[in-house]
Amino acid sequence: MKIGYIFPGQGTQVVGMGKDIYEKYEEARNVYKIIDNSLNENIEELTYEKTQEELNKTENTQIAIYAMSMAILEILNSKGIKPSALAGLSLGEYSALTTAGVISLEEGAKIVRTRGKLMQNLAPKGNWSMSAIIGLDDDKVEEACNKVNNGFVKAVNYNCPGQVVVSGEKEAVLQAMEYAKELGAKRTIELKTSGPFHTEKLKDASVELRKELEKINFKDFEIPVIKNLNGKAYTKEDNMVEILSNHVISPVKFGKSIETMLNMGVDTFIEIGPGKTLSGFVKKVCKQMEKEVNVCNIENVETLESTLEVLKK
């Protein structure tokens, strides 16, 4: 069995996510304690007790999902489970880098907290939105965006065959959704996000994030991590500051990341964090590539324990 961990990004957050894991497992509580101390905040209160509206704010969403993913990871570590490859969607790439030993848990928490604040507070003023276009080829989604002549919208997340996320001004996104339907899209879904993420509109956030990234002492990779920018594994020659600062203004090639993991021989994917969106992406990529793999997700005690049973086989 060759295991690949995948970590979700924004849009999957719900109030109370991971609380039963926190209550049952001391390993999870210890992770939250380390993160709380490093930030001088209470991430449990933010995750379990605030309103959904408050949790949906980018500055809060990112650290809450990161903390939950890292808490689950620590339980898997305690069971002696070792992945062969890692990937994450947008924010999730920081979870992957922490898992790979490239950044420490404390460093990860601080940079994720900062990243969320910058992406929220340095986005230009405006009414921004993101939408998933389902059942349309990548080039057709790009065509739908290009047909919008009044407002800014771009294809930004290439998640899997038949699903691309577009990002931009709300009215332009809505127009792109309509054009996509005319071109044959099966569905369009507005996402729970609040900025023009992965577009050049976040240039100011990218510049400020670079300054913070330059303070981090990046270590060697203990486990291969597949990067969002091109769907290929990081190498020793990669400039981490350059890549991660460009990350917020560049499209996400998550479908290609899954293809790379499959080509590396990964036959068991475990999604670590809220929701099972990425699990669905894996299944679609596998269908296209005619591969059969195990796909699990861990977001509560039930799914954690069922995944542990799968890994025993």
Q: What's this model's pTM, rounded to 2 decimal places?
A: 0.95
Q: Where are the alpha helices (H) located in 123-224, listed in sequence order?
A: 138-147, 170-182, 203-213
Distance CA 114, CA 205 (A): 10
Task: Specify whether 247 is catalytic.
Answer: no
Of the candidates 198, 245, 247, 250, the residue annotated as catalytic is 198
Q: Which domains does the chain have, with CATH numbers?
A: 3-123+200-312 (3.40.366.10), 128-190 (3.30.70.250)
Q: In the beta sheet, which residues pair with residue 163? A: 134, 160
Task: Compute mean pLDDT per 10 residues along the chain, 313 residues long, and list them.
Answer: 96 95 98 98 97 94 98 97 97 98 98 96 90 96 95 96 95 96 95 84 96 96 97 95 96 97 97 96 94 96 96 81
Q: What is the pLDDT of residue 195?
A: 79
Q: Where are the alpha helices (H) located in 25-169, listed in sequence order?
A: 26-39, 43-48, 52-55, 58-78, 92-99, 105-121, 138-147
Of the candidates 90, 206, 245, 250, the residue annotated as catalytic is 90
Q: What is the pLDDT of residue 191?
A: 84
Q: What is the pLDDT of residue 192?
A: 72
Q: What is the pLDDT of residue 13?
A: 94
The secondary element (H helix, E strand) that includes residue 155 is strand 153-160
Q: What is the pLDDT of residue 90?
A: 95
Q: What is the pLDDT of residue 34?
A: 98
Q: What is the pLDDT of residue 11?
A: 85
Q: Which structure tokens are listed for 5?
A: 């961990």
